[in-house]
Structure 1
Amino acid sequence: MPSEPLLTFTDRGICCPRGGFFIDPWRPVDRALITHGHSDHARPGHGAYLATVAAAPVIRHRLGAIRLDTIAYGERRRIGGVTVSFHPAGHVPGSAQIRIEGAGEVWVVSGDYKTEPDTLSEPFEPVACHTFISECTFGLPVFRWQPQAAIAADLNAWWAGNAAEGRVSILGAYALGKAQRLMAAVDPAIGPILTHGAVEATTAVLRAQGITLPPTRHAGAGIDAKSHPGALVIAPPSALGTPWAARFGPASEAFASGWMALRGVRRRRGHGRGFVLSDHADWDGLNSAIRATGAERVFVTHGYTAIFRRWLEDQGYDAGIVATEYQGETADAEAESDPALPGTME
């Protein structure tokens, strides 16, 4: 292998010196390759952006008038001294892993990913490489997800029970990906589905791309428990327990996140229910994805990095940690409460 690594780790982000670009940089750079539209990966201020065709509409919605080029999944493009391609990550619609090849060496940057199909996102595709940079948001054995069908059954039972008692159900979920995944999973025959402005705006962008979702209504002024009894309200986590949510009266609140697998997190959040549903890979998903790459060297980022690195070393990998500013589901939650972002207000 060449003496200079194909990718380097800098204070601006993951850099490809031979290609003259960064991947999901967190400080302004001239050229950024973006894995997906969540705010901890797609940030403002870069000179030029490259993302998948399916990720571009949400990125434009969130960042406004930027110089954005698009690439199809699997398309190989020469940039400087390397060849890049984008491959499905299964995280949210349009999300990608980025493959970089140069001088006989292949690296893959995972971005955020999950291995279980969700009917909305393009299914995760393992990509063979020498070095894999993997997220490990949920890199502990305690994080093992139930099948999506089982979670949907629990959600529908909770919603139907609340509706039968005359209560509105308020479900906290991130506006890009998780909210739409929940819409597709619940039974709209139970009652109307209402949405916070941040969720409705992002959902409209995805509908315009041809993604089929059940009918929803923006829960703006004049929409409350009296006008829509027994409704399901999908809102960013930041909206739970606020005056905006109080308009729905003595509602039942719940939160959908992988963190709900931890009792301490459920208690601290104080919601009536916690549904364990994540757009990130669980313990088994992380391990199966890494094995499928055939990589000998693995760098892990954002999550239980120290523990997961030691585990990988025990399995025989050359493993390391990449310090980044990606924060997985925590960052997504903060993004939805940022009034400076388009579509986040009521």
Structure 2
Amino acid sequence: MNALLQRLQIDLPLFQGPMTGSDTPQLAAAVSQAGGLGFLGCGMRSPQAMREAAAAVRAATAKPFGMNLFVLEQPTPDAATVQAAIDRLAPLYADLGLPPPEAPARWCEDFHAQFEALLDARPAVASFTFGILSAAQVRRLKDEADSYVIGTATTLAEAQAWAEVGADAVVASGMEAGGHRGTFLEDFEASMVGTLALVPQCVDALSIPVIAAGGIMDGRGIAAAQALGAQGVQLGTAFLACPESAIGPAQRTAMAGAQATDTRVTRIYSGRPARGLVNAMMERLAMHEAAVPAYPVQNALTGALRRAAAAQGRADYLSLWAGQGVGAARPLPAAQLVALLAQEWRDVSKSTAARH
């Protein structure tokens, strides 16, 4: 058992990706109960919803779990930028029988209030993406909540920055991963580093554990990540297909027929580069991608559209987040998937050892 598993008191080097908006307390609890580490993606949860979700996980399992936040400040876009974005989206809203979107009272949850709620919730693991904490914030999580702090990095420089502020571990997130890129230092294009290249760079440069993410779907991927020096792996798309995830029937159907070549990285849904399945909305707005306001402004303006699309079963206007491993997703209950992943990983490890 490696240092990471010993510290977290979990049996398997297997983390469920946070997947904000698609996660549920049921999914997190099932993964944790099965020996991995379940996660709540709290980037878009209010402080009260964070507390309720954490309580729901604790009601279902006594095992440790994690909570993830987006490191964000409230943006202050100018009115012209917002109006231009609304005008671009109005025809899509009309297609679903909706009036054009309106600017919300605020663009995202207040990160500082969320951070205080995280301290109150005292999860075993607190992880972060989209930005970086201060050393003082990391210290508070350790001292006040006894949480193990994990930062998300898409480059070696980001991983080193997290180590410098005192993070306990880093998720090295390759460009294969589904959903939003966690990039916060370099430009997004330069930060499109694959898992196979990123993980060993981070392992060699850091003294803290590295958790591999991006494109890992089965036991072979887990064994490969460990061969690169990762102490754990984080799987998002693999757990997205589980019945406990919050995605609707339209997204499940789209995922079931998809392959790696069906995914693209785009800003059009949220204003931050994210990998998902190509659909009509992505294609219709592709020409405007450079003009889309940055996250969370675009994300807030497309929110009602995506919710309506889900309610109407319209995959063409959903943000179909999925990684390049989507073709290998298995729609099993989370506990069964964890057991299968663990068995595959052990089988691969044994056969590799037998060959040497």
Instruction: Specify if TM > 0.5.
Output: no
Question: Greater share of strand residues, 1 or 2?
Answer: 1
Normalized against structure 1, the TM-score is what? 0.32
Normalized against structure 2, the TM-score is what? 0.31
Question: Greater share of helix residues, 1 or 2?
Answer: 2
